[in-house]
């Protein structure tokens, strides 16, 4: 393939977001969980009032906090009416992709629809994999070095079936799956057909009431500092890192956001979406054929299993 204009890659300082929502290391962790809920962000850098970077606090950290302090008694009391199942909290109205779709169109759709990943299905709606922002990093690297053997979504989707769940999985087991895997979303299958999807935010929404219960119960979480649960080992990048080195970090690890650091201080933040947005126009080659259309499916028949 040819025709890409990636010879002068942008640097981190050119694409990073500077106006950030941040948390402080000594803030009580339940307060940080609430703040993340209310801010509608998936992760926030943890910095001192002077801007010194300490780590990052994410939805995954929130799940860890809630599972650490919600013992069986408080969990059972909170869900006395019945613990939610995946069928109760999953998203049913999904955007789905076909494996033959052009990968550059798929990247554009992720950005246009403001989603980080989409299930890929065959003509019968059977699950094949997931095309995500992380998949797009491979597209970016391949395009940069003119080495893409194909531009079909099927070549870049993640087909790992460890992320699959069924409609009857209970909430605690879903949380455990999220904590044991790097995934942000879990396709819900009935047989082999996709009927919904559960993401971390769906789970946190279902667990939101636990925050108040833990706070009122006087558990240690009420006073534990955010820095105890933050990801202190998260990768960071300098301001002069180029988009290809950043893409490689995203491609090879579980990272979804990279704090940009200079002299130990936070200068900005780059997410996978920021990187894709900055390079999307550069990624698009001259069209050689009409792009495959988006396969839309409201999953209208997705209902909880009969009891």
| pLDDT (tens digit per residue) in 187-239 | 999 999 999 999 999 999 888 888 877 777 665 556 789 999 999 999 999 99
pTM of the model: 0.83
Please report the pLDDT score of residue 307 as a whole number: 37
Please report the pLDDT score of residue 194 as a whole number: 94
- Left (φ > 0), alpha (ψ -120 to 50) or beta: where does 38 sit? alpha
CATH of domain 12-297: 3.10.580.10
Q: Which residues contact 256 (CB under 8 A, 6 or more apart)?
A: 42, 43, 58, 116, 133, 184, 250, 271, 272
Please report the pLDDT score of residue 285 as a whole number: 54
Please report the pLDDT score of residue 40 as a whole number: 83
Q: Per-domain residue ranges for the chain?
A: 12-297
DSSP result, the chain: ------SS--BHHHH-B-S---B-TTSBHHHHHHHHHHHT-SEEEEE-TT-BEEEEEEHHHHHHHHHHH--HHHHHHHTTT---BHHHH-B-SEEEB-TTSBHHHHHHHHHHHT-SEEEEE-TT-BEEEEEEHHHHHHHHHHHHTT--S--BGGGTSB--GGG-EETT-BHHHHHHHHHHSS-SEEEEEETTEEEEEEEHHHHHHHHHHHHHHHHHTT-GGGT-BHHHHSBTT---B-TT-BHHHHHHHHHHSS-SEEEEEETTEEEEEEEHHHHHHHHHHHHPPPP-SPPPPPEEE--TT--PPP-
- Give every residue of the chain whose pLDDT is below 50, as ranges: 1-6, 286-297, 300, 302-307
Please report the pLDDT score of residue 99 as a whole number: 94
Place of tokens 């279902």: 206
């Amino acid at each position: 393939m040819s025709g890409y204009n990636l010879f002068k890659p942008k640097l981190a300082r050119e694409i990073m977001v500077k106006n950030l929502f941040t948390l402080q290391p000594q803030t009580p962790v339940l307060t940080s969980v609430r703040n993340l809920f209310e801010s509608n962000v998936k992760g926030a850098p943890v910095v001192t009032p002077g801007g010194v970077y300490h780590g990052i606090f994410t939805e995954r950290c929130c799940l860890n906090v809630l599972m650490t302090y919600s013992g069986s008694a408080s969990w059972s009391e909170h869900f006395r009416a019945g613990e939610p199942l995946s069928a109760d909290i999953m998203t049913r109205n999904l955007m789905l992709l076909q494996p033959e779709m052009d990968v550059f169109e798929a990247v554009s759709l992720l950005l246009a629809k403001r989603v980080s990943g989409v299930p890929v299905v065959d003509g019968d709606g059977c699950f094949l994999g997931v095309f995500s922002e992380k998949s797009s990093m491979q597209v970016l690297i391949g395009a940069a070095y003119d080495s893409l053997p194909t531009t079909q979504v099927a070549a870049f989707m993640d087909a790992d079936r460890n992320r699959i769940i069924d409609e009857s999985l209970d909430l605690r087991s879903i949380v455990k799956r999220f904590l044991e895997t790097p995934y942000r979303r879990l396709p819900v299958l009935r047989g082999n057909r996709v009927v919904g999807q559960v993401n971390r935010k769906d789970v946190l929404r279902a667990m939101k009431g636990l925050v108040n219960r833990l706070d009122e119960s006087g558990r240690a979480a009420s006073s534990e500092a955010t820095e105890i649960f933050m990801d202190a080992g998260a990768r960071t990048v300098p301001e002069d890192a180029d988009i290809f080195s950043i893409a490689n970090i995203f491609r090879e690890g579980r990272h979804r956001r990279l704090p940009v650091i200079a002299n130990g201080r936070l200068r900005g933040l780059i997410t996978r979406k920021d990187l894709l947005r900055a390079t999307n126009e550069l990624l698009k080659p001259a069209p050689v054929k009409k792009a495959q259309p988006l396969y839309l499916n409201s999953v209208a028949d997705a209902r909880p299993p009969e009891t």
